[in-house]
Structure 1
């Protein structure tokens, strides 16, 4: 598209190739000669589909995220990292502390993270994965104990 950015007619013809089903339906419904330029086309598209834009989340939404009573570490961790990835900026140091503080106060991982601090998001993710593996191994051990030979 950048190569042909001076050729507005071509850009208008190529534009639909990037659309999904709903947007294509909108495009096909445009009246003939109702759009006079590529700029007008992008403005009309933006006006119609403004609600589809993702608004970056604020750091406050990450700070307020907490593990729920009875929630698994996997579920909390998945929610946390999904939200973290929606925040623009470099907040690795905040990620470490907010993830830890969001865990239930009696959670063993929280105790571990406050006892032996991690200094990067990579270390935090490694520690979470290690904790999950240990818990999975413990769960499998309990299941084996219950099996009657």
Structure 2
């Protein structure tokens, strides 16, 4: 048996009725520790006020060397979820994604074969690690990065938005349109192939 790093107060806290353990993304020393803590808080949702429960659930999100790190913490050294997170982030701070400035958004470009959904996801991911950027500036960077002449680009030029939340909401309709056009193109391609196959059979 391995001595627990939790204090007796945490270990002896009464269990919570009707609690279902969430499925966590496992941390294996390769991702951002701050993102991982945020992920756990989101998964625990209504249970974030139960400090002992948060502590007990945290180790189930660790794997490999990270789990060994937790097991090697001194006995009784973790007295709260905050103290556990502080130790965890300090241990893996080197994995933290470096923050970027607004210029990283203005150098982005939508690739020729990149659909709106894929580009929007890539842009939002970069935006999430940009520090101190005004909402309207982010929108302007997105418009400049888009492929010119596409329906969504034209829509934004004619009637722009003030925030990325508004932009993301407006993008939904255009992404559905792209999906429908792609489905129709696949259908047309299949029909064309079938017709060519039938033509070959008739020639034979």
More off after superposition, 73-82 vs 113-122:
113-122
For structure 2, the 5+ residue unaligned runs are 1-6, 12-51, 195-204
Q: CA deviation at 1:90?
A: 5.3
Q: Which runs of 5+ in 1 are unaligned?
A: 1-8
Distance (whole Å) between structure 2 residues aligned to residue 84 and residue 43 of structure 1: 25
1:87 to 126, 130, 140: 130
Q: How far apart are 1:70 and its partner, in Å?
A: 1.6
Which one has more relative contact order, counting CA pairs under 8 Å at least 6 apart? 2
TM-score (norm 2): 0.50
Give distance in 1, aligned partners of 2:86 and 2:131: 25
Structure 1 residues 1-149: aligned runs within 5 Å = 17=56, 18-19=58-59, 20-21=62-63, 22-29=65-72, 48-89=91-132, 91-143=134-186, 147=191
Distance 1:37 1:73 in 2: 46
Structure 1 residue 119, shift from structure 2 partner: 2.8
C-alpha deviation, 1:29, in angstroms:
4.6
Q: State the TM-score, normalizing by the size of structure 1.
A: 0.64
Matches of 2:139 and 2:114 in 1, distance apart?
19
Maintained 8 Å contact 2:101/2:132: no
Q: 1:27 to 1:90 in 2, by over 3 A?
A: same
Instruction: Give 1:49 shift.
Output: 2.2
